[in-house]
Chain A
C-alpha cells in the first residue's frame, strides 16, 4: 500500500504544484466580473447610497452614474432573487450610507431558480467569490466552489500560468460597477456583427425563459423579497421593485398567465410591505433602438431608463 501511495503522490505532485501556483496567482487579479464588482465595492462601500441588484437586465440597463447619488450596480447575469437576497444579507452591514436598494424583478425572476437552469454553473462563482452557499446542497462539495482554477476554467488558469496574461475584469467597469466597455450580450449580434432581429432574439429568449419558469417557485421567491423588505425596513432603507423595459417583440410573446401571476404577486407584496413597484413592461417610451437584444437595454437605452427611473423615484411615483 505504501508503494501505491508513493506512486500516486509522484503522479499528483506536479499537478498539485501547478494548481497551487494557479490559485495564488488567480487571487491577485479579479478575472471575472463578479470578482471585479467585489473588489470595486470594497473600495466604495463607505460611500454607497444606492445598491442595484438583479440579473443581466439590470446589469446592462441601469447606469449608476445616472442615478444622481453614489450608486453601485451589483447586478449580474443569471443573478436570481436567491442571490440578491444572499448578497444583500451579506453586504448591507458593510454599507453604512445605504439609503435605497433597487431590486429589479424581471418576467422570469419569480418563477426561476439559478440551480435549475442551464446557467447553474454561475452558482459556483457566487460561492467562490462571495462565499454564498448554493440553494441545492448537492453542489456544496463541487471542486469549483473551492478552486479558482476549476471555477474559472482551465483556459484562464493556463493563460495565467503559461503566458502570465490574465484579463483584469475591472477594466470593463467604472468605479461604481457600471459598464464602460460593455461587450454585447450573447445573442445580441450576428456573426457578421450586425444586430440580431429583435423578433428572432425575443423568440429565443422567451423559449429559454419560459422553459425554466415554474409557478411553484413564486412562493419561495416572494418570501425572499419579503425578507429583504423587512431587513431593510428595520434599517430605515427604502426598497424599490423595478421591472425593466423589454422590446415589444419580447413583451408581446410573454406567457400571459405567467405575467399575470407575476403582477398579482408583486402587487400583493407592494401592498403588504408598502413597497414601490415600477413596472416598465410594454412602456412605449422605449423603442427597438434602445435595446441590444429583446430583453437587454443598450447604452443609450440604459441612459434613458436610468434618468427616467431617477426622476420617477424622486417624484415618488408608483405604477
Chain B
C-alpha cells in the first residue's frame, strides 16, 4: 500500500482509531495484522518471504542469546546467510547470472544460465537489513533475544517503516512495542502535520518533477547539455522529496500512534562535503553500514590504504544495496571516491580557500562548498537514474554539448516544450520552498514557532498546506522511488 493512495486514506484512520480503542494487550496483534494487510496489498504471496526471514531470525535470536564462542557465531552466520540468501535470490541472481554470461562470452566460453526473472518483493532490502540488525545486536550482547514471536514479527513488519525504512535498530524500536501509548492530541496533530509535510514533498514537488525527468531519461539522446544538467538537478530534488517525503510520512504515522522512529534526513542538500552528505542523507542506512560493515572492517583506525579499501567496500556495497545494476555500483563507487578525494585534498583546499580570501568570508565559502557538493551529488545521480550504463555514459558525453542554446532562450524553451515544463517549474519552486524550510529548521524550532502563533495564522497555514496538495499535486506520481529497493 502506498502512503499517497486512497486505500491508505481509509486504512490509516481505521487502524489508528482501533489502536486507541483496543486494550494494550491486543494492540500488537492489531498492528501486526494491519502490517500484513499493508504489505499484502502489493503482492500477497511475497509475505511468505517476510515470514521466512522473521522465523529464521526469531529462532536465531533465541539460539544466539544463550550460546557462547563458536556456536554463537555459527548461529549468527546461519541467520545472516539465510537473510542475505533471500536478498541474493530475489535481487541479485539475474544480475550475477547475466554478468557471468557476459564474462564467459568475453572469454569465448559457452556459458548460459537461465535467468529467474523474479519480481523483487517491495522493500526487501529494508526489512532484511532491519532483521539482520536484530541478530547482530543479539550476538553482540547489546539486545536481549525477543521471546514474544508476535512482537518480534511486528518489529520487522511495523507498517509505517516496513517498505522503505527508516531501518530501525532493535534497541530503539522493540521496547516501544511494549509501551502503552495513550491518545495525546498534541502528539497526534504533530504526527499528522509531519505526514502532511511529507505528502507535500511527494505529491507537489517529486511528482511534479517526475514527468520532466522521466521524459528526458526516456530518450536522453534528444536533449542538449543544458537540459541534461537541469534534469540532473531536478532529479536530485525529486529523489530527495520523494524519499524524505516517504520518511516524513512514516515517522509521522508512527508518531500519531505514539512510536518514535529515527530521523532519516537532516537537510542533506546543505552539506558542505560528500562525507557530511552521508551523515545527513538516508541516515538509517548510512549508520547501518557504519555500524555493521565499516567499523567491523576496521573503520578509520587503521592504515590509510586499509581505510581507503574500507570506504571503497562500504560504498560499493551501498550502491549494490540500492539495485542490481552496474549503474548503482558506479554511483556508490563515485561517492566513495569523492570521500577519499575530499579527505586527501582537505589541506590543499584549505590553503586554496585562504589564498582566495574565502577564509575571511565564511558565508561565501560555505555557499560554494554547498553548491559544489550538491552538484557532485546531482551528477552522480545520473548513474542512479539512467536506465542503463550506456545511457548514463551517453549523458555525460552529451553534457558539454549544446550550451550555445543559452544564447537563444526561445529555442531552449522550445526544446523543453512538451516535456512538462510548467510542472517542472512548479516542482522546482516547491523544491526551493522545501530547502528554505530546511534552512529555517536549522535555526528555529519551526513547528513550535507555528504552534505559538494566533489560531488564525495557524489555521491559515494549515489551509494553505492542504490547498497546495489538493490543487497542485502531480498526477503522474504513483510509487515512491525507494519502494523498488
Contacts and interface: CB of A to CB of B under 8 A. Distances in A.
Interface of A: 1, 3-4, 7, 10-12, 14-15, 18, 118, 121, 138, 141-143, 146, 153-154, 158, 186, 191-192, 204, 207-208
Contact of B5 (A12, A121, A141, A207): A141
B476 A191 contact: no
A1 B19 CA distance: 13
B343 interface: no
B12 to A, nearest CB: 12
| Interface SS, B side | helix
A121 B415 CA distance: 25
A142 B414 contact: no
Contact of A14 (B9, B219, B463): B463
A138 B472 CA distance: 24
A141 B189 contact: no
A146 to B, nearest CB: 8
B42 interface: yes
A207 B476 CA distance: 21
Given A142-B6, A204-B219, A15 B42 contact: no
Contact of A207 (B219, B466, B475): B219
A155 to B, nearest CB: 9
Interface size class of B (residues with CB under 8 A): 20 to 34
Contact of A4 (B5, B188, B462): B188
Contact of B463 (A4, A11, A138, A158): A11
Contact of B185 (A3, A118, A138): A3
B447 interface: no
* For the complex of A and B, 10 pairs with smallest distance between CB atoms: A143-B6, A191-B414, A141-B7, A153-B475, A191-B417, A154-B471, A15-B470, A141-B6, A1-B183, A142-B6
Contacts, number: 49
Contacts of A121: 475-476
A7 B189 contact: yes
A71 B475 CA distance: 35
B476 A158 contact: no
A142 B430 CA distance: 25
Contacts of A143: 5-6, 9
Contact of B418 (A7, A14, A186): A186
Interface string B204-227: 000000000010001100100000
12 contacts: A1-B20, A4-B189, A11-B466, A15-B467, A121-B475, A143-B6, A154-B472, A154-B475, A158-B471, A186-B418, A191-B415, A204-B222
Contact of B41 (A14, A138, A154): A138
A158 to B, nearest CB: 7
